[in-house]
Amino acid sequence: MMSEEMCSLSSMRKGQKGVIDSFTDYELSLKLLEMGCIPGEIIEVIRVAPLGDPIAISISGYMLGLRKAEAGTVMVKLQT
Amino acid sequence: MEQKIKIALVGNPNSGKSTVFNALTGLRQKVANFPGVTVEKRTGFTSIKTIQGNKIEAEIIDLPGTYSLYPKSPEEILPFQLLCDPHNESHPDLTIVVADGTNLKRNLFLCSQILDLKIPVILVINMMDIVLQKKMSIDFAGISKRLGIPVIGMDGRSGKGVQELREAIGKPLVSPVNDFIDVREFAPGLIEELRSIVKVESNYNAFLAANNLSLISGFEMQQWKKDKITAACEKYNFDAQQMQARETLERYTVITQILKEHLTSHEVPLQKSNSYKIDSFLTHRIWGYLIFMVILFMIFQVIFSWASYPMDWIDNGFLILSEFARDSLPSGLLNDLFVDGILAGLNGIVVFVPQIALLFFFVAILEDTGYMARVSFIMDRLMKKFGMNGKSLIPLMSGVACAVPAIMSTRTIQNRKERLITIMVTPLMSCSARLPVYTLLIALVIPRGDIFGFNMQGVVMMILYLLGFVAALGAALAMKYIIKKKERSFFVMELPMYRVPRWSSIGIHVLEKVKIFLFDAGKIIVAISIILWVLSSFGPGGVFDSIEAKYHAQSEKGIIQEHDVARLIQTEKLEASYAGKLGHLIEPAIAPLGFDWKIGIALITSFAAREVFVGTMSTIYSVGGDESVKLTIKEKMAAEINPQTGGPRYTFAVGLSLMLFYAFAMQCMSTVAVVYRETKRIRYPLIQILYMSGLAYLASLIVYQLLKP
């Protein structure tokens, strides 16, 4: 069963999966795009740093670390 | 005739680019800075046989790792300038793109951009060992045909594929023909117009010129050209950011298509990988920090204790050498200059080599295994508050042994502001050169005995170390708000898979760092050392001659013992020297801190290195070298009377004030030299000297004024 719900990457918990939908910060989105964070890609939060920030996500087969403030600019369609 | 070609090596960070570089060039490498920036330029040489049997001498430039041709840091501007600007002196004839085979999608992105610049490209797909382990299969012929360039699989560690690469380099150079994506569609008409302005063949290069116009500060382009580009962009309503996003998306669409056809992989979730399991420990909320603390402690121990043996050998070696030189060369001014100026300066440089080599050995292992990225990951939240990076902890902790290697190790910090702050505050950490000063002063003014069951002298020592750390954090916090950089602080960082370190790469890295220090910072250190020698061995007028005459006369009359003559002459000469005069000169300024002109002299000579304090003090108080030196200096200093009060000169207040001064003041020419080497701006070491000395002055002033009887 699939239900779709939009949220920002920073509000996702460890283990949650989703599909990248859009970005809210233009400048940062360019950086994320070239790192392979393309709308339509599946993204998963695989680790949260012990102090709650930054987080590590899995994207196109590799692990990417980013701060919560940055993750907040990525909008994700949640997969549950 | 021997042919020469220039080859640029580019690739994403962590793609194993330097392994390919080392495999191609071996030890035929040299490191310098790119002109005007603090980015290391590694160049290597190798000879290649062409298929006709001729020899080509290839100069290979290892460019800093980058994810794209849209630069975001000084490191990334270089590949961009070099590749795009045909007039750049290092513009390559051939570009080798190194891609991580386990992550082709992201790695091919950069490759596709370079292809569209229409420079001859060879694609090296690296890390084939892991690709095979992961049971992925890559259709090299298919990708090669699709991209129109040679594609070579490589395992840089075992050297598989290196021979093939050499053969590919030896073949005639061919520029790619087809566009990977056609940027003309993005802005019809504009690209053609730009091509004629920038005078480049490739459509994409023209497109990039428009896109990066605001970024390319060092690009060799006249203002009228820039104006023309800006005008053309305005005419066509060219929105750079939107275009960049569109280009990126289009490239990824094509790459995804190519990989669908030519790559078979079995998607294994990252959670199944060994790296993930290792991370469960290394980034754990308890184990992660404990392990990091243990690693820091070990590094600290090693550079503190292991390095002391080779450092002693070096010191002893120089001692023998200078005694030999002093005795065998004709005595006189040149002899003094050579022994006390140049040899002493050289000694001061070479003695750092063991610490630098050891620290970089460990830092290189941490980097190479992928652990350093995790340090950033677990420490970022904390260090961000102080304007630094998680990685800043390594230089800060190494600074307890010595600031020189510590500052050199800040290169691992990508963000410029974070790196600069780390460099600026690291010398506040109490380094090992302060130890002899603290030891002497503590013994002098802190009574033995226990406080709450702890040895009081030990407690004071610990407080001094803590003070250094607190001051470093405080200074960092202040600079976080003072230093303005346009650069936005990103933490978008790949956490690479853990790998076994490549020992040969680490060896080359250590060698490189030692060489940089010896030759770059070394020059400055010898120069300052000679200046200090001049200051302390010359005095105005014929003062020195009359001193010698006076003591020799006294000795002949039997007023003083013959074996004391040299010592007494030395003492009086130091007082009469320019350094001595300077000591007198600054006395009014340091009197509020409780210091007299004798301490003033020591403050000046300590600029060579802080531990010189002890030596200067023994010269000033004319301590014989034959007895147990430290005890005697201590006793002499303890017996010194302050003529104004009639009590002892080194009271508790003076001792504490002096300790604080040494804790905070920038008194180390080697650090100054290294900060200059690492920032390439004279203003940073100057600011550092000013703010640290200001802090020292203030701290000493307050403590002395509060505590003085």
Give percent of chain B above pLDDT 70: 95
Q: Which residue of A has its CA nearest to B109?
A: A34
Give percent of chain B above pLDDT 90: 35
Residue B26 per-residue DSSP state: T
Q: How confident is the model at residue A72 (pLDDT cuts 50, 70, 90)?
A: very high
Please check whether residue A11 touches B, CB under 8 A.
no
* Distance between CA atoms of residues B64 and B42, nearest Å: 9
Query: B116 CA to chain A: closest CA distance, Å?
Result: 16
Q: Which residues contact B384 (CB under 8 A, 6 or more apart)?
A: B489
Please check whether residue A70 touches B, CB under 8 A.
yes
Residues of B in contact with A32 (CB under 8 A): 492
Q: How many domains does chain A have?
A: 1
Sign of CA dihedral B358, B359, B362, B367: negative
Least confident of A18-22, B29-33, B386-390, B567-571: B29-33
Residues of B in contact with A33 (CB under 8 A): 245, 248-249, 252
Find residue B42's DSSP bridge partners. B31, B62
Q: Please name the member of B248, B269, B492 whose beta carbon is closest to the beta carbon of A64.
A: B492
The CATH fold assigned to B3-170 is Rossmann fold (3.40.50)
Residue A47 per-residue DSSP state: E
Check CB contact under 8 Å for B380 and A49: yes
Q: Which residues contact B411 (CB under 8 A, 6 or more apart)?
A: B40, B419, B678
Least confident of A35-44, A56-65, B210-219, B310-319: B210-219
* Distance between CA atoms of residues B249 and B240, nearest Å: 14
Check CB contact under 8 Å for A50 and B380: no
* B190: its two tokens: 């504009």
* Distance between CA atoms of residues B90 and B80, nearest Å: 12
Q: At what angle do helices B416-425 and B669-679 cross, to 10 degrees?
A: 170
Do the bridges between strand B121-126 and strand B151-153 make them parallel or antiparallel, or are there none, so unpaired? parallel
Q: Please name the member of A26, A27, A54 whose beta carbon is closest to the beta carbon of B377.
A: A54
How many cross-chain Cβ pairs, A to B, lie less than 8 Å apart? 108
Q: Give the CATH number of the domain where residue A58 resides.
A: 2.30.30.90
User: Is pLDDT of A38 > 90?
Assistant: yes
The whole-model pTM stands at: 0.84
Check CB contact under 8 Å for B72 and A31: yes
Mean pLDDT of B454-469: 87
pLDDT for B230 equals 84
Check CB contact under 8 Å for A61 and B376: no
Q: Classify burial at B625, counting beta carbons within 10 Å of its beta carbon; exposed 0-12, middle 13-18, buried 19 or more.
A: exposed
Q: How confident is the model at residue B220 (pLDDT cuts 50, 70, 90)?
A: low
Q: Which residues contact B697 (CB under 8 A, 6 or more apart)?
A: B593, B661, B665
pLDDT tens digits along B562-587: 777 777 787 888 888 888 889 999 99
Check CB contact under 8 Å for A65 and B288: no
Check CB contact under 8 Å for A51 and B493: no
Check CB contact under 8 Å for B269 and A64: no
Q: What's the alpha-carbon Rg for chain A, to the nearest Å? A: 11
Do B140 and B161 form a contact (C-beta atoms < 8 A)?
Answer: no
Q: Which residue of B has its CA nearest to A68?
A: B491
Q: Please name the member of A28, A34, A53 whose beta carbon is closest to the beta carbon of B68.
A: A34
* Distance between CA atoms of residues B554 and B573, nearest Å: 16
User: Is pLDDT of B516 > 90?
Assistant: no
Check CB contact under 8 Å for A50 and B285: yes
Please check whether residue A40 touches B, CB under 8 A.
no
What is the enclosing helix (H) or strand (E) of B60? strand B55-62
Query: A47 CA to chain B: closest CA distance, Å?
Result: 9
* Distance between CA atoms of residues B295 and B117, nearest Å: 45
Residue, of B620 and B598, whose pLDDT is higher = B598
Do B534 and B578 form a contact (C-beta atoms < 8 A)?
Answer: yes
pLDDT tens digits along B228-276: 888 888 888 888 888 899 999 999 999 999 999 999 987 778 888 889 9
Sign of CA dihedral B402, B404, B405, B410: positive
Residues of A in contact with B276 (CB under 8 A): 46
Query: B283 CA to chain A: closest CA distance, Å?
Result: 7
Residues of B in contact with A68 (CB under 8 A): none
Q: Please name the member of A27, A38, A64 whose beta carbon is closest to the beta carbon of B249.
A: A38
Domain that holds residue A31: 4-79
Residues of A in contact with B495 (CB under 8 A): 56, 63-65
Mean pLDDT of B52-57: 88
Q: Is A16 helix (H, G, I), strand (E, B) or coil?
A: coil
Q: Please name the member of B70, B106, B377 whose beta carbon is closest to the beta carbon of A30.
A: B70
* Distance between CA atoms of residues B103 and B265, nearest Å: 11
Q: How confident is the model at residue B623 (pLDDT cuts 50, 70, 90)?
A: low
User: Is pLDDT of B505 > 50?
Assistant: yes
Look up residue B277 and give its amino acid: K
Do B152 and B158 form a contact (C-beta atoms < 8 A)?
Answer: no
Q: How confident is the model at residue B611 (pLDDT cuts 50, 70, 90)?
A: confident
pLDDT for B558 equals 75
Least confident of B36-40, B245-249, B559-563: B36-40
Q: How confident is the model at residue B218 (pLDDT cuts 50, 70, 90)?
A: very low
Check CB contact under 8 Å for A62 and B494: yes
Mean pLDDT of B89-112: 94
Q: Which residue of A has its CA nearest to B381?
A: A53
Find residue B124's DSSP bridge partners. B98, B152
Please check whether residue A56 touches B, CB under 8 A.
yes
* Distance between CA atoms of residues B350 and B358, nearest Å: 14
Sign of CA dihedral B425, B427, B431, B436: negative
Question: How distant, in Å, are the alpha carbons of B250, B596, B623 from that of B568?
Answer: 82, 20, 9
* A37: its two tokens: 């964070």
Query: A42 CA to chain B: closest CA distance, Å?
Result: 12
Side-chain-side CA neighbours of residue B476 (13 Å): 29
Find residue B55's DSSP bridge partners. B49
Residues of A in contact with B497 (CB under 8 A): 63
Residues of A in contact with B68 (CB under 8 A): 34
Do B426 and B407 form a contact (C-beta atoms < 8 A)?
Answer: yes
Residue of A21, A26, A33, A37 to mutate for B, most B C-beta atoms under 10 A: A33
pLDDT tens digits along B630-689: 456 778 788 888 888 888 889 999 999 999 999 999 988 889 999 998 888 899 999 999
Query: A78 CA to chain B: closest CA distance, Å?
Result: 18
pLDDT for B99 equals 96
* Distance between CA atoms of residues B420 and B680, nearest Å: 11
Going edge to edge, which strands form the sheet with B29-33?
B29-33, B40-49, B55-62, B3-11, B94-100, B121-126, B151-153
Do B233 and B206 form a contact (C-beta atoms < 8 A)?
Answer: no
Find residue B685's DSSP bridge partners. none
- Cα torsion through B386, B391, B392, B395, rounded to 10: 170
Look up residue A45 and give its amino acid: V
Check CB contact under 8 Å for A52 and B381: yes
* Distance between CA atoms of residues B105 and B206, nearest Å: 25
| ipTM computed for the complex | 0.93
Tell me the backbone φ, ψ of residue B153, rounded to 5 degrees.
-85, 140
Please check whether residue A48 touches B, CB under 8 A.
no
Length of chain B: 709
pLDDT for B217 equals 46
Find residue A7's DSSP bridge partners. A76
Please check whether residue A17 touches B, CB under 8 A.
no
Residue B41 per-residue DSSP state: E
Find residue B493's DSSP bridge partners. A65
Do the bridges between strand B121-126 and strand B94-100 make them parallel or antiparallel, or are there none, so unpaired? parallel
User: Is pLDDT of B625 > 60?
Assistant: no
Check CB contact under 8 Å for B105 and A36: yes
* Distance between CA atoms of residues B190 and B176, nearest Å: 23
* B181: its two tokens: 């994506």
- Cα torsion through B472, B477, B480, B482, rounded to 10: -90
Please check whether residue A42 touches B, CB under 8 A.
no
Please check whether residue A50 touches B, CB under 8 A.
yes
Q: How many CB atoms lie within 10 A of CB B388?
A: 31
Query: A3 CA to chain B: closest CA distance, Å?
Result: 22
User: Is pLDDT of B609 > 90?
Assistant: no
* Distance between CA atoms of residues B110 and B97, nearest Å: 8
Q: Which of B74, B388, B372 is nearest to B218 (CA)?
A: B74
Residue B217 per-residue DSSP state: S
* Distance between CA atoms of residues B704 and B709, nearest Å: 9
Q: Classify burial at B412, counting beta carbons within 10 Å of its beta carbon; exposed 0-12, middle 13-18, buried 19 or more.
A: buried
* B477: its two tokens: 């916090």
Check CB contact under 8 Å for B490 and A36: no
Residues of A in contact with B252 (CB under 8 A): 33, 36, 38
Check CB contact under 8 Å for B376 and A65: yes
Check CB contact under 8 Å for A30 and B377: no
Residues of A in contact with B106 (CB under 8 A): 35-36, 60, 62
